[in-house]
């Protein structure tokens, strides 16, 4: 990166957008910053980007991995399209350096939060989709997630923590695990705690920056304590 090029300009150049583009700027605007400055946040773009990423990965599974059926295809997709995976890609793109945050989020190091980074990545995908079309968005997604998709498709039967716990629980005659999640804190920095109950007994708790992350953490903890 040139000394005359800012991290924001470098990212814009990488994804083929004008750094002054309204969509690009909005994609990098967290709700905490938007609330303080009276501008639009990236939440609507994140909503669209989530669908675009899902479509790209699903379309690639159907076209490129005919050995995967609906079940193994869904499992493969879940390994690639999840908060941790998207946050890792966002970190590689250094999105945390350029996302616009409110004062409280900056103080709490929001640029490091996986949920925030994953959402920003999806918002960037939406900006590419709206400005450059599906082809460009698909190419971008597969550039950064294609390797993980190939690896996941090679071992589709390796289940995720929640599915693994459910399969064990049902086989043991306890039925499906039940998750109860509560959130604390402001909407832009909510912290979630999940309890997982099996056979009427609370088996474990987990914490995370999203409901899904908290449930996965609880499932992992319960798996380690699954002697019933």
Q: Where are the alpha helices (DSSP H) in the chain?
A: 7-15, 22-27, 31-37, 43-64, 70-80, 83-92, 103-107, 114-132, 134-154, 161-171, 211-224
More confident residue, 213 or 124: 124
Q: Which two tokens stand for residue 66?
A: 């005919």
The predicted-structure confidence for 84-128, as pLDDT tens digits, reads as follows 889 989 988 999 999 999 999 999 887 888 989 999 999 999 999
Domain locations along the chain:
7-154, 161-224
d(CA 9, CA 20): 9
Is 225 part of the annotated catalytic residue set? no
Domains 7-154 and 161-224 share a fold: no
Q: Which residues contact 39 (CB under 8 A, 6 or more apart)?
A: 26, 29, 33
State whether CATH 3.30.160.20 applies to domain 161-224: yes
pLDDT at 72: 84
pTM as predicted: 0.71
Contact (CB, 8 A) for 66 and 76: no
**Among 46, 50, 83, 195, which one carries the catalytic annotation?**
50
pLDDT-based confidence at residue 1 (cuts at 50, 70, 90): very low
Domain 7-154: which CATH class? mainly alpha
d(CA 80, CA 97): 23
Is 215 part of the annotated catalytic residue set? no
Contact (CB, 8 A) for 46 and 118: no
| Average predicted confidence (pLDDT) for the chain | 89
> Per-residue pLDDT averaged across 24-31, rounded?
97
pLDDT at 131: 97
**Among 46, 83, 119, 122, which one carries the catalytic annotation?**
122
């Amino acid at each position: 990166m040139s000394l005359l090029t800012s991290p924001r300009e470098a990212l814009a150049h990488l994804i083929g957008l004008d750094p002054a583009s309204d969509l690009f700027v909005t994609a990098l605007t967290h709700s905490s910053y938007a609330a303080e400055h009276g501008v639009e946040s990236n939440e609507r773009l994140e909503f669209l980007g989530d669908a675009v990423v899902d479509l790209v990965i699903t379309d690639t599974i159907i076209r490129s991995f005919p050995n995967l059926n609906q079940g193994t295809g869904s499992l493969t997709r879940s390994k690639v399209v999840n908060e941790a995976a998207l946050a890792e890609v966002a970190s590689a793109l250094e999105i945390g350096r350029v996302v616009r945050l409110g004062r409280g989020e900056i103080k709490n190091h929001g640029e490091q939060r996986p949920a925030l980074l994953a959402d920003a990545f999806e918002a960037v995908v939406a900006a590419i989709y709206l400005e450059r079309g599906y082809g460009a968005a698909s190419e971008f997604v597969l550039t950064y997630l294609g390797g993980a998709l190939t690896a996941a498709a090679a071992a589709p039967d390796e289940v995720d923590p929640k599915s693994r716990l459910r399969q064990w629980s049902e086989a043991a005659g306890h039925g499906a695990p039940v998750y109860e999640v509560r959130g604390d804190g402001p909407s832009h920095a909510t912290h979630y705690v999940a309890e997982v109950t099996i056979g009427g007994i609370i088996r474990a708790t987990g914490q995370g920056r999203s409901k899904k992350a908290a449930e996965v953490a609880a499932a992992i903890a319960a798996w380690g304590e699954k002697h019933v």
